[in-house]
Every structure is written in structure tokens, then in C-alpha cells.
Amino acid sequence: MESKHTQWLEINAKALEHNIRQFQSLLGEERRLLAMVKANAYGHGMREVSQIALKSGVDWLGVNSIDEALILRNQGIQCPILCVGYIPLHRLKDAVQNKIRMTVYNEDSIKELAQICRSQNIKAHLHIKVETGTYRQGIHEQEVIPFINHIRKHKGLVIEGVSSHFANIEDTTDHSYAENQLNRFQNFIRIIEKQGVQVPFKHMACSAAVILFPQTYFNMARIGIGMYGLWPSNEVYVSSLLRESPQFVLKPVLSWKTRVAQVKRVPKHEFIGYGCTYKTTRDTCLAVIPVGYYDGYSRGLSNASYVLIKGKRAPVRGRVAMNFIMADITDIPSVQVEDPVTLIGKEKGDSFTVDQMASLIGTINYEVTARIRPGISRIVV
Ligand SMILES: Cc1ncc(COP(=O)(O)O)c(C=O)c1O
């Protein structure tokens, strides 16, 4: 086995490049592509993904926190970085000094930023988030003119963008709510431009929007899940099949691997794992596997999922523990300690996907990958 680790993620650089090219071809050359690498690049490894994405021609990176932004800057990344999450007032200085673009929607943040820019004689690049119906971050229509006027009073504050985010574009094939949000966004842009403000970047599109609706592109899109080779939802996949454009193919980027820690024989009618939730129905051969819920392998997969060993399915028996699972290898001959195990990914023609894992535990693919423990090594292959 090549890896020296107990468990590791393989990040397929070619698949990532392919997915980025797919989005680039939809967006066209003149629009900017912002790669969402927040939440440790949806669990894929922010450092690794950012490097590959930039080499593939991504223009901007998107993070959630100032800490994520600074990790990228400390890695030597010079491209524009937009922080889409909240930056506490006492961290705004770090953002300005490191040229991190900020998503703004609070008067308090503007006051603090104005003070920082004045005292340090530097500029802050702001992206105003407008409320179109997600009710997460953003300012209301009636607030937008006073907000802009407040920003324009300060020489150091530059309105670089206006953004919003769709609430209901993934969960449905009825896109009327998304269309309504798009109309509200366009209205915000009209109001802002009527004030004589030129907005260099207008952005609202996420993966689903880019796949389904060219009218959401404006001049920049923020792509997350699709870049990782995962569909935003089944509904988006189905809707995309109805489109005239050539079929859009996404290639999963991540595989999750480990190795067998112990092989043991268990007689018929013995219980396996905490809570005695599984009783053997035959003389059984088990592989003990050194991965558990601490790593992001959900406890909800107890007695539910399978892993791949020698390309064959080994069902998980008993509860997922903090650091271990047990898998039934009775029907897989001659498994030995250190044999490779695939938790997510392909092996010899069979696979276990992020989407399968998500549906077994009643969640979405975003949550499955984002919860994989950051400390696990990410290996670019
Ligand atoms: C503000 C914002 N923009 C863009 C995205 C990217 O969305 P997706 O991963 O669906 O492409 C996200 C993801 O949650 C987000 O929070």
C-alpha cells in the first residue's frame, strides 16, 4: 500500500480539474469563477484544493471565516479571497491588512472598517449582501440606500460587489422561488446603480444555478459542491437532464481509504460492538477497521453501510464506535491485516458513494464530506 497513514483521503486532481472546466465552459471566459473552499473545501482539504483550483484557472477563492482566509494567505496564495461568513469586529483589521474581500450587511462592521481604513490609510473591498428571501445574511431593500451612503462617506471603503444566495434551488424542480429571488436581486442592482454606484462584481449563482440558469450568471459565480464532483441534489440532476445543452458530467473528487487493523473469527450467535445491536447468524469472519465517528464516519451508519475490501462489499456490523468499525468479511477470502479498505470511492468495479452515505444517514452530500475530520491526511493523486 502506498500511503503510510492509518487512514487518508485521496483527492483526484484530474477529476477536480475536469469539474472546474465544466463550469468554466458554461460560464464562458469573460465571467469569474469563485471556488468555494470554505469548510476545509467541503472536507476535501482547503490547501490542496485551492492549489489545484488556481492552477485550473479559478479566479477567486471563497471562505467562510477570517481564519480560513489567513491560512490561504499564509500559504502564499495571492488571488482575491472573499470571506462569505461573518467577521467579528475585532478581526476586521486582519481582513483589511491581508486584502480579504468582505461580505458586509451590518452598520457596525462599516463603522469599524471605516475607522481601520482611516487610521491605516488603506482600502477595504466590500461585497454588499442583499436579502432576496433566504433570510440568512443580507440587508433589506429599504436599508440599501442608507447603507450605501454610509459606505460612500468613507474614502477607504470600496464597493466591489453585490451578492445574494439562493434558498430553494436545490430542493425542488419548481424554480419559482429561485426566479423570484433573482428578480429581487436584479431590483437591488437597479436601486444601487441608480445611486450612481458602479458595481464591479454581481454574484448570486451557486453550482445548481450555474448548471440550470444562465440568467443567474452576472459576472461571477460561486461554485462549491459541483466542483467536488457531487450533484447539488437529485432534483438538480433531473432538471439538468431536461436542458438542451450537452450533458454535464461531474466526477467525484474524493475517496476515503484505510486499512484492516485486525481479522477475527466470531462464532455464530455472538454480539458485535456496543449495545449488542448485531448478533451473528453464522460463524463469521470480521475485519476491525480503524475509523469511527470521530473521523466523520457517522454513527448513523451502524449496521447500515458497507466498505469495500478486495473490491467486494463488507457490511458494517454493530455500532460505529468513536474510532472503530467492524465489517463482515466472511464472504471475502483471505483478508489480512493491512489490506486496503475503501470507505468512500471505487474499488475494482464497485463503489460506495458520498450520496449513498448521505441517504443512509438522512442528510445531504455536503454534510458528509464537510464532516470528515480535518486532521486526516489529504493526498493528491
Ligand atoms: C454564500 C454561498 N455561496 C455559494 C455557495 C456554494 O454553493 P454550492 O456548494 O451549492 O455550489 C455556498 C455554499 O453553501 C454559500 O454559502
* The dihedral formed by the CA atoms of 274, 276, 280 and 284, expressed in degrees to the nearest 10: 20
State whether the Cα torsion 123-127-130-133 is positive or negative. negative
Report pLDDT digits (tens) over 142-193: 999 999 999 999 999 999 999 999 999 999 999 999 999 999 999 999 999 9
* 1 part of a folded domain: no
Same domain, 213 and 267: no
Q: How far is the CA of 315 from the centre of ligand 1 (A)?
A: 34
Query: Which ligand 1 atom is at minimum distance from the Cα of 64?
Result: 16
- The tally of CA atoms less than 13 A away on the side-chain side of residue 359 is 6
Same domain, 85 and 30: yes
* 175 part of a folded domain: yes
What are the residue numbers of the active site?
Answer: 38, 274
Report pLDDT digits (tens) over 60-116: 999 999 999 999 999 999 999 999 999 999 999 999 999 999 999 999 999 999 999
* 7 part of a folded domain: no
**DSSP helix/strand/coil, 63:** strand
* 373 part of a folded domain: no
Atom 13 in ligand 1: residue holding the nearest Cα: 224
User: What's the number of domains the chain is made of?
Assistant: 2
**Looking at the whole model, is its pTM more than 0.95?**
yes
**pLDDT, position 73:** 98
Q: Please give the residue range of the domain that contains residue 270.
A: 254-352
Report pLDDT digits (tens) over 202-257: 999 999 999 999 999 999 999 999 999 999 999 999 999 988 666 789 999 999 99
Domain end among 241, 264, 294: 241
Same domain, 31 and 104: yes
Same domain, 88 and 167: yes
- In Å, what is the CA distance from 184 to each residue of 102, 163, 171? 22, 12, 20
pLDDT of residue 348 exceeding 80: yes
Atom 9 in ligand 1: residue holding the nearest Cα: 224
* 187 part of a folded domain: yes
Q: How far is the CA of 206 from the centre of ligand 1 (A)?
A: 5
